[in-house]
């Protein structure tokens, strides 16, 4: 039997925050709040809050369903209603959940959207996803912001102004119309100030993995840490308070020389330090994590924790340039970076965090992440001479998670890492 996961004060704080959000959503009409469905990459949390709307994130609905072992039934429901087997499983899970009553992770019904806001267009699936939702919710206002891709590895002033123009002429007027609230730039600036504070803290939290042993796991635990900053709490004092508490806990672990907390308690020994590319599998999350910590492997950096924004390169929301900051944020998520940019970022992580190896988890139904992963892996292996590993799974479809296959591949990979460490030790002592 698996042990009950250990909970620290920060985890309890986050649980209360999320339960509070879903409780507000369940009572949105009574509270007089409008509801905005949007996505995590490039989301406009601060602008949504400026208009007092409550956010809903369809990918969060899907991954929460997977962790509660409900995604398989939702996916089958969507497939029964003519959604192809090849469609992103996040989409099918969310649509299936909607068809079965749209009950959220706290057991309360999620309300229909007043606004469908798409502010990241680097994933074409998002466009089709919202087309599907629009058919189901014909009264919802669709607001779309076209976000330029960082094709030439930069965000130019022209790209920023192109997006600001859309905010001024399309997004803000439509939000005013839906909510009946006038745009208040001073209010937006206050949210952006709090966002920058939270971003400083989350960056400092992920920097702590440079310590040996690393006090945290930046992938499996990291997905919990990015929760508040990605699901509607960025721009709030609640998020700042949460990250301050989390950082305090991590510093205590560093002082005591402790490794990460896993679902089964303290990790006793850090044998391997890894960087991981790609999202995790949510249907077998704890089993997936266990393969790593049973082998003494700690993830010191991951690309997935940058899916909502790449803060470790220095970018922050700037309250003095409110609309420009929102525009740059939309362009600044990991999957909006081109392949050479992603490679450079991963190489930086491997070098700066002194990683022993690099592992790719290729997701069957997520082209945003999976496109180019093999080429990225080869380039990293050739240029850094670091051992690389490759596994395959899916986001929320249990049919595409093979525990034995993944375990076998990872065990072979760890054997290779062990051999390499032995050879390096022998060379040092020779």
Whether residue 1 is predicted with pLDDT greater than 50 in this model: the reply is no
- Beta carbons within 8 Å of 224's beta carbon, 6+ residues apart: 11, 14
Whether residue 4 is predicted with pLDDT greater than 70 in this model: the reply is no
Residue 44 belongs to some domain of the structure = yes
pLDDT band at 430 (very low <50, low <70, confident <90, very high): low
What would the pLDDT profile of 362-419 be if each residue is shown by its tens digit? 998 888 888 899 999 999 999 999 999 999 999 999 999 999 999 999 999 999 999 9
- Cβ proximity of 114 and 141 under 8 Å: yes
What would the pLDDT profile of 174-219 be if each residue is shown by its tens digit? 999 999 999 999 999 999 999 999 999 999 999 999 999 999 999 9
Q: Which domain holds residue 98?
A: 9-179
The stretch 140-158 carries a mean pLDDT of 92
Residue 145 belongs to some domain of the structure = yes
- Cβ proximity of 178 and 141 under 8 Å: yes
Residue 349 belongs to some domain of the structure = no
Phi, psi of 57 (to 5 degrees): -115, 105
Q: Quote the pLDDT of residue 310.
A: 94
Residue 79 belongs to some domain of the structure = yes
Residue 282 belongs to some domain of the structure = no
Residue 408 belongs to some domain of the structure = no
- Cβ proximity of 107 and 23 under 8 Å: no
Whether residue 124 is predicted with pLDDT greater than 90 in this model: the reply is no
Residue 166 belongs to some domain of the structure = yes
Residue 320 belongs to some domain of the structure = no
Q: Quote the pLDDT of residue 2.
A: 45
Q: Quote the pLDDT of residue 195.
A: 98
Q: Quote the pLDDT of residue 7.
A: 64
Mean model confidence pLDDT for the chain: 93
Q: Which residues pair with 103 in a beta bridge?
A: 109
What would the pLDDT profile of 66-98 be if each residue is shown by its tens digit? 999 999 999 999 999 888 888 899 999 999 999
* CATH number of the domain within which 164 lies: 3.40.50.11890
CA distances to 168, 178, 414 from 140, in Å: 20, 9, 50
Whether residue 3 is predicted with pLDDT greater than 70 in this model: the reply is no
Q: Quote the pLDDT of residue 104.
A: 86
What would the pLDDT profile of 308-345 be if each residue is shown by its tens digit? 999 999 999 999 999 999 999 999 999 899 999 999 99
What would the pLDDT profile of 221-263 be if each residue is shown by its tens digit? 999 999 999 999 999 999 999 999 999 999 999 999 999 999 9
Q: How many separate domains does the chain show?
A: 1
Q: Quote the pLDDT of residue 9.
A: 84
């Amino acid at each position: 039997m698996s042990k009950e996961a250990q909970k620290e004060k920060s985890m309890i704080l986050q649980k209360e925050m999320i339960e509070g959000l879903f409780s507000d959503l369940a009572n949105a009409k009574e509270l007089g709040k409008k509801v905005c469905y949007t996505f995590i990459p490039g989301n406009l949390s601060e602008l949504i809050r400026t208009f007092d709307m409550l956010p809903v994130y369809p990918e969060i609905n899907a991954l929460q369903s997977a962790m509660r072992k409900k995604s398989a039934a939702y996916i089958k429901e969507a497939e029964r209603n003519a959604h192809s087997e090849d469609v992103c499983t996040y989409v099918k899970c969310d649509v299936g959940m909607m068809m079965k009553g749209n009950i959220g992770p706290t057991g309360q019904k999620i309300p229909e959207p007043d606004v469908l806001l798409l502010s990241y267009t680097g994933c074409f699936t998002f466009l089709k996803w919202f087309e599907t939702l629009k058919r189901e919710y014909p009264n919802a206002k669709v607001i779309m912001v076209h976000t330029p891709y960082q094709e030439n590895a930069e965000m130019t002033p022209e790209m920023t102004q192109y997006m600001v123009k859309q905010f001024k002429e399309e997004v803000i007027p439509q939000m005013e119309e839906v909510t009946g609230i006038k745009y208040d730039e001073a209010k937006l600036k206050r949210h952006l100030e709090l966002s920058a504070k939270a971003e400083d803290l989350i960056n400092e939290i992920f920097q702590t993995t440079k310590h040996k042993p690393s006090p945290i796991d930046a992938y499996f635990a990291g997905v919990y840490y990015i929760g508040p900053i990605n699901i509607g709490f960025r721009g709030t004092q609640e998020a700042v308070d949460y990250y301050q508490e989390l950082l305090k806990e991590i510093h205590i672990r560093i002082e005591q020389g402790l490794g990460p907390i896993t679902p089964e308690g303290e990790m006793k020994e850090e044998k391997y330090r890894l960087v991981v590319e790609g999202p995790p599998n949510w249907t077998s999350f704890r089993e997936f994590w266990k393969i790593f910590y049973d082998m003494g492997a700690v993830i010191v950096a991951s690309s997935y924790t940058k899916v909502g924004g790449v803060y470790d390169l220095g970018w922050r929301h700037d309250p003095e340039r409110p609309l420009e900051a929102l525009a740059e944020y939309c362009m600044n998520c990991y999957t909006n970076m081109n392949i050479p940019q992603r490679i450079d970022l991963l190489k930086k992580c491997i070098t700066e965090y002194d990683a022993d190896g690099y592992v790719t988890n290729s997701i069957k139904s997520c082209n945003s992440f999976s496109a180019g992963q093999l080429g990225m892996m080869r380039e990293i292996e050739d240029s850094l001479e670091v051992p690389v590993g490759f596994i395959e799974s899916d986001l929320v479809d249990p049919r595409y998670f093979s525990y034995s296959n993944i375990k076998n591949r990872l065990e072979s990979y760890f054997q290779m890492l062990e051999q390499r460490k032995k050879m390096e030790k022998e060379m040092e002592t020779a």
